Amino acid sequence: MASTAPDASQDQESIKNSSIKFRSVKTLAESPELTSIPSSYTFTTNPDDELVTDPDDDDPIPVIDYSLLFIGTPDQRAKTIRDIGRACEQWGFFMLINHCVPKSLMEKLVDQVFAFFNLKEEEKQEYAGSKNVTDPIRYGTSFNPSMDKVKFWRDFIKIIVHPEFHSPDKPPGFRDTCAEYCRKTRKLGRELLKGISESLGLEADYIDRTMNLDHGLQMIAANLYSPCPQPELAMGMPPHSDHGLLNLLIQNGVCGLQVLHNNRWINVTSTPNCFVVLVSDHLEIVSNGKYKSVVHRAVVSNKATRISVATVVAPSMDTVVEPASELIDNETNPAAYVGMRHKDYMELQRTNHLYGKSVLNQVRI
Ligand code: OGA
Ligand code: NI
């Protein structure tokens, strides 16, 4: 018999009798007898969703040269800000090159994340914790296993790194690398948000100030997508948009990210030394819908292990996020979203199925 997925009840039994709280995808993927995925991981895609392509030559993925915001001529800077605005409006994301984060630091972070996932399961599961979104460190699998109808082929660690810095102490060196990476990406995110504010016709520090970014939430979500014996049946992460203002994503050279653009799934490459910058829900709200948070997903493969690290730059937990009053006109452009405290928004995300823009739709007027 070819199909020999580990018996779930036996598995539950061994979980009950140890310090292991759940079975990670990595454990499952490494079980020698695995030739097919358990049915709990079988993801049925909507055939309407299934137009998957590489970007068209005449509509390429936008690439922004970050350095031009600082060392460019005034014309180059103005054009870069316009390009950022157009990318946020038309794609909801862009690739960022010539940024201020050293390539060696990006690679070191990915190596450390790999090393974390390679710790013994017992060691990682010290961070399995409760299900609270404000837990500073959460190691887990799928998205929200108690809510997910189908499990996703993904393990993760989520770490809150600002306003207070947290980090696992293992593996050695993780904490220092993570701290440095977070400092650098935080600066990058805030600078980008200045350009984005300007692109909306607002003062450069508008978003920084009104979203209280001095006390802003910053979170790292590192994802591990282990090789999957039936990649066409499983999903690493389902279609969703992110909470927060921006998500700065890096990858380990293995592709898997797809974004929804004009009703087609577009493959995004994993380019070294490049950030994928995703417009997230709170930026859509602040811009009153001018900029669209991008719906994206992660597919898996049967060949390579994929790692991605998302850095979410978000308002402070207590900020009530609402459309910028400067962008609203009651007659011609009324507010399209109700205000909601960031913390409540995150809670809403936790208690909902992760699918498309289901959370954002709840604050839409
Ligand atoms: C995320 C995410 C996509 C990826 O962490 O929010 O969408 O490619 N990740 O791993
Ligand atoms: Ni995401």
pLDDT in tens, 242-259: 999 999 999 999 999 999
Q: Is 182 helix (H, G, I), strand (E, B) or coil?
A: helix
> Given the DSSP bridges, would you call strands 320-321 and 264-267 parallel, antiparallel or unpaired?
unpaired
Q: What is the pLDDT of residue 7?
A: 43
Paired strand residues for 266: 53, 259
Mean pLDDT, rounded, for 172-197? 98
Residues 248 and 188: beta-carbon distance below 8 Å: yes
293 contact partners, CB below 8 Å, separation of at least 6: 92, 241, 242, 278, 279, 280, 281, 283, 284, 357, 360
Q: Is 24 in the pocket of ligand 1 (CB under 6 A)?
A: no
Q: What residues sit around ligand 2, an ion, with C-beta below 5 angstroms?
A: 242
Mean pLDDT, rounded, for 69-86? 96
Q: Is 310 in the pocket of ligand 1 (CB under 6 A)?
A: yes
Mean pLDDT, rounded, for 90-119? 97
Mean pLDDT, rounded, for 165-192? 97
The rounded Å distance from CA 262 to ligand 2 centre is 18
- Select, from the ranges 148-157, 304-313, 343-352, the one with the highest average predicted confidence (pLDDT): 304-313
Which ligand 1 atom is at minimum distance from the Cα of 276?
Answer: 8
The rounded Å distance from CA 46 to ligand 2 centre is 19
Nearest in space to 297 (alpha carbons), one of 357, 359, 230: 357
For 194-242, the pLDDT digits (tens) are 999 999 999 999 999 999 999 999 999 999 999 999 999 999 999 999 9
Q: What is the pLDDT of residue 129?
A: 72
Q: What is the pLDDT of residue 14?
A: 52
Q: What is the pLDDT of residue 49?
A: 57
Mean pLDDT, rounded, for 323-338? 95
Q: Is 220 in the pocket of ligand 1 (CB under 6 A)?
A: no
Tell the residue nearest (CA) to atom 8 of ligand 1: 257
Q: Residue 1 above 50 pLDDT?
A: no
Q: Using 50, 70 and 90 to split pLDDT, how confident is the model at 351?
A: confident
Q: What is the pLDDT of residue 359?
A: 85
Residues 190 and 182: beta-carbon distance below 8 Å: no
Q: State how far the Cα of 246 lies from the Cα of 191, in Å rounded to an integer.
A: 11
Q: Is 250 in the pocket of ligand 1 (CB under 6 A)?
A: no
Q: What is the pLDDT of residue 48?
A: 58
Q: Residue 15 above 70 pLDDT?
A: no
What pTM did the predictor assign? 0.93
Tell the residue nearest (CA) to atom 1 of ligand 1: 310
Q: State how far the Cα of 154 lies from the Cα of 147, in Å rounded to an integer.
A: 15
Q: What percent of the chain has pLDDT over 70?
A: 92
Q: What is the pLDDT of residue 134?
A: 74
Of all ligands present, the nearest one to the C-alpha of 152 is: 1
Tell the residue nearest (CA) to atom 5 of ligand 1: 310
DSSP 177: H
Residues 267 and 294: beta-carbon distance below 8 Å: no
Q: Which of 110, 220, 223 should be mutated for ligand 1, with most atoms under 8 A from CB? A: 223
Q: What is the pLDDT of residue 2?
A: 39
Q: Is 296 in the pocket of ligand 1 (CB under 6 A)?
A: yes
Which ligand 1 atom is at minimum distance from the Cα of 225?
Answer: 10
- C-alpha pair distances (Å), 155 with each of 91, 114, 164, 349: 28, 12, 24, 18
Which ligand 1 atom is at minimum distance from the Cα of 236?
Answer: 10
Mean pLDDT, rounded, for 333-349? 93
Mean pLDDT, rounded, for 274-284? 98
Least confident of 37-46, 104-113, 157-166, 285-294: 37-46
Q: Using 50, 70 and 90 to split pLDDT, how confident is the model at 11?
A: low
Q: What is the pLDDT of residue 47?
A: 61
CA angle centred on 203, ends 93 and 357, rounded to 5°: 35
Q: Can you say whether the dihedral through the CA atoms of 21, 305, 170, 185 is positive or negative?
A: negative
Phi, psi of 359 (to 5 degrees): -80, -50
Tell the residue nearest (CA) to atom 3 of ligand 1: 298
Q: Is 239 in the pocket of ligand 1 (CB under 6 A)?
A: no
Whole-number average pLDDT of the chain: 91
224 contact partners, CB below 8 Å, separation of at least 6: 25, 26, 113, 117, 154, 155, 156, 305, 306, 307
Residues 141 and 225: beta-carbon distance below 8 Å: no
The rounded Å distance from CA 248 to ligand 2 centre is 10
Q: Which H/E stretch holds residue 12?
A: helix 8-16
Q: Is 256 in the pocket of ligand 1 (CB under 6 A)?
A: yes
Of all ligands present, the nearest one to the C-alpha of 158 is: 1
Q: Residue 268 above 60 pLDDT?
A: yes
